[in-house]
């Protein structure tokens, strides 16, 4: 079992990663009344691991459930159960459960206890770490939300055994991204042990999840409210989000292809050697992720142009400064167009 501490202005999180980490929920309850928020898939697969004595409620599956209506349904349950500020909300599930449970817990009675037990790779390395809670509103992702660190994040590696391969790949895209922006040794470890991770070997998964969580935790600790440093976590996502709008691909696939196109920007700016760009594309390919997508390049450029307008002008975005380091720089629309048109 590995343990990290994330200290930020909004709170302190203890992050535990390992096989059996979810059994720490009983201790985390510390005698408090608790409501578990989960979804039907997670309930079916993992309810035997839920702590005794907590109430359980399920929310709907998928992005459509990440709404204020879902949050209201949690408030109603809290009211029925007469929970108070000394009570605890426990989110057990993927990113949507963590974001929604976090938002309900941090707004009800102006904030009650929150513990997360993420059960997907993506949630273990990204959504559950860093204290962003929230829901979508009127078609805008994460428009309404709060920043507050959960008291504990318990990442149980065993939960990953039941995850579909495509869902593991979504997580791997973020694992690669986090190593690429923040830790050359973690990147080298991924290159060395990608095959063991794909076979779900626990030691390798534990190391990969804890390296990735540590990279994110250090970034969040330096810049919780995303004034600069935290923007690095968006590496691969500027082009990735545009790809996602245009092509029917999963988030991880779009981010993987986005990382390669954005690495080409680094190469053309002289910030990254071509051999490092090849290391990135080779690792992405080995993890079963695409280095490009079959989509109209001009539509992807159009989506970037619209996003640029929405954000008011230039494209300020993170790009790699070699493997293991990122920098926030200005990228011109011309540089962006070249990278997208030249996508492999």
When the beta carbons of 130 and 324 are compared against ligand GLY, the nearer one is 130
Please list every residue from 227 through 266 that binds ligand GLY, using CB under 6 A. 230, 233
Give the residue, chosen from 39, 99, 126, 211, that forms a contact with ligand GLY under the rule CB under 6 A.
126
Q: Among residues 46, 66, 132, 148, which is the contact residue for ligand GLY, using CB under 6 A?
A: 132
Question: Both tokens of residue 82?
Answer: 């007469």
The DSSP letter of residue 65 is G
User: Among the candidate windows 91-99, 126-134, 297-305, 318-326, which touches ligand GLY by CB under 6 A?
Assistant: 126-134
Q: How far is the CB of 130 from ligand GLY (least distance, A)?
A: 4
If one counts every other C-beta atom within 10 angstroms of the C-beta of residue 204, the result is: 20
318 binds ligand GLY (CB under 6 A): no
Q: How far apart are CA 86 and CA 77, in angstroms?
A: 16
Interface with ligand GLY includes 130 (CB under 6 A)?
A: yes
Distance CA 321, CA 249 (A): 27
> What span, in angstroms and rounded, lies between the C-alpha atoms of 15 and 10?
15
**What residues contact 207, with CB distance under 8 A and at least 6 apart?**
189, 193
Residue 145 or 288 with smaller CB distance to ligand GLY: 145
Measure the CA–CA gap between 198 and 162, rounded to whole angstroms: 13
CB 250 to ligand GLY: min, Å: 16
Whichever of 207 and 230 has its CB closer to ligand GLY, that residue is 230
Choose between 36 and 135: whose C-beta lies nearer to ligand GLY. 135
**Which one, 108 or 235, has the nearer CB to ligand GLY?**
235
- Rounded CA separation 89/74 (Å): 10
- Which residues touch 31 (CB under 8 Å, ≥6 apart)? none
> Given CA atoms 342, 229, 214, 118 in this order, what sign does their dihedral have?
negative
| Least distance CB 220 / ligand GLY (angstroms) | 7
Smallest gap, in angstroms, from Cβ of residue 135 to ligand GLY?
Answer: 15
d(CA 336, CA 34): 49
Is there binding between residue 277 and ligand GLY (CB under 6 A)? no
Closer Cβ to ligand GLY, 255 or 261, answer by number: 255
Q: Which stretch binds ligand GLY (CB under 6 A): 86-94, 124-132, 263-271, 325-333?
A: 124-132
Kindly tell me which of 233 and 303 has the beta carbon lying closer to ligand GLY.
Answer: 233
- Per-residue x/- mask for ligand GLY, residues 195 to 234, rule CB under 6 A? -----------------------------------x--x-
Please state, in angstroms and rounded to a whole number, the distance separating the CA atoms of residues 8 and 67: 27
Asked whether 6 and 220 are in contact (CB, 8 A), the reply is yes
Residue ranges of the alpha helices (H) in 132-250?
Answer: 165-182, 184-198, 202-222, 237-246
CB of 82 to ligand GLY, least distance (A): 33
Q: Which of residues 146-205 bind ligand GLY (CB under 6 A)?
A: none
> Cα(17)–Cα(207) distance, rounded to whole angstroms?
9
**In the complex, what is the shortest distance from the CB of residue 333 to ligand GLY, in angstroms, rounded to a whole number?**
24
Q: Which is nearer to ligand GLY, 169 or 277 (CB)?
A: 169
Q: Is 109 left (phi over 0), alpha (psi -120 to 50) or beta?
A: left
- The interface region with ligand GLY, picked from 125-133, 136-144, 146-154, 257-265 by CB under 6 A, is 125-133
Helices first, then strands: H and E counts in the chain: 13, 11
Rounded CA gap, 150 and 156, in Å? 16
Under the rule (CB under 6 A), what is the footprint of ligand GLY? 126, 130, 132, 230, 233
């Amino acid at each position: 079992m590995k343990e990290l501490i994330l200290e930020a202005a909004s709170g302190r999180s203890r992050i535990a990663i390992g096989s059996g980490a979810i059994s720490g929920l009983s201790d985390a309850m510390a005698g408090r009344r608790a409501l578990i928020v989960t979804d039907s898939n997670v309930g079916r697969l993992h309810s035997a691991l839920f702590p005794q004595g907590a109430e359980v409620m399920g929310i709907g599956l998928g992005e459509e459930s990440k709404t204020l209506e879902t949050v209201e349904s949690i408030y109603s349950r809290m009211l029925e159960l007469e929970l108070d500020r000394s009570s605890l909300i426990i989110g057990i599930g993927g990113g949507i459960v963590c974001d929604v449970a976090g938002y309900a817990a941090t707004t009800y009675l102006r904030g009650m206890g929150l513990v997360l037990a993420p059960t997907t790779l993506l949630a273990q390395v990204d959504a559950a770490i860093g204290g962003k809670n929230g829901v979508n509103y009127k078609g805008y992702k994460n428009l309404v939300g709060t920043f507050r660190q959960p008291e504990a994040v318990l990442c149980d590696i065993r939960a990953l055994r039941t995850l579909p391969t495509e869902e593991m790949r979504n997580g791997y895209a973020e694992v690669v991204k986090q190593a690429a922006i923040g830790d050359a040794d973690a990147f080298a470890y991924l290159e060395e042990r990608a095959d063991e991770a794909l076979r779900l070997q626990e030691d390798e998964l534990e190391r990969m999840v804890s390296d990735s969580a540590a990279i994110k935790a250090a970034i969040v600790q330096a810049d919780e409210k995303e004034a600069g440093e935290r923007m690095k976590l968006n590496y691969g996502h500027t082009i990735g989000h545009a790809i996602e709008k245009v092509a029917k691909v999963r988030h991880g696939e779009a981010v993987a292809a986005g990382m390669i196109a954005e690495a080409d920007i680094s190469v053309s700016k002289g910030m990254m050697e071509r051999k490092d760009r090849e290391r990135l594309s080779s690792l992405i390919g080995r993890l079963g992720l695409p280095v490009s997508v079959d989509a109209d390049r001009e539509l992807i450029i159009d989506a970037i142009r619209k996003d640029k307008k929405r954000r008011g002008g230039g494209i300020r975005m993170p790009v790699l400064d070699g493997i293991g380091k990122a920098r926030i720089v200005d990228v011109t629309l011309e540089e962006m167009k070249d990278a997208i048109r030249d996508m492999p």
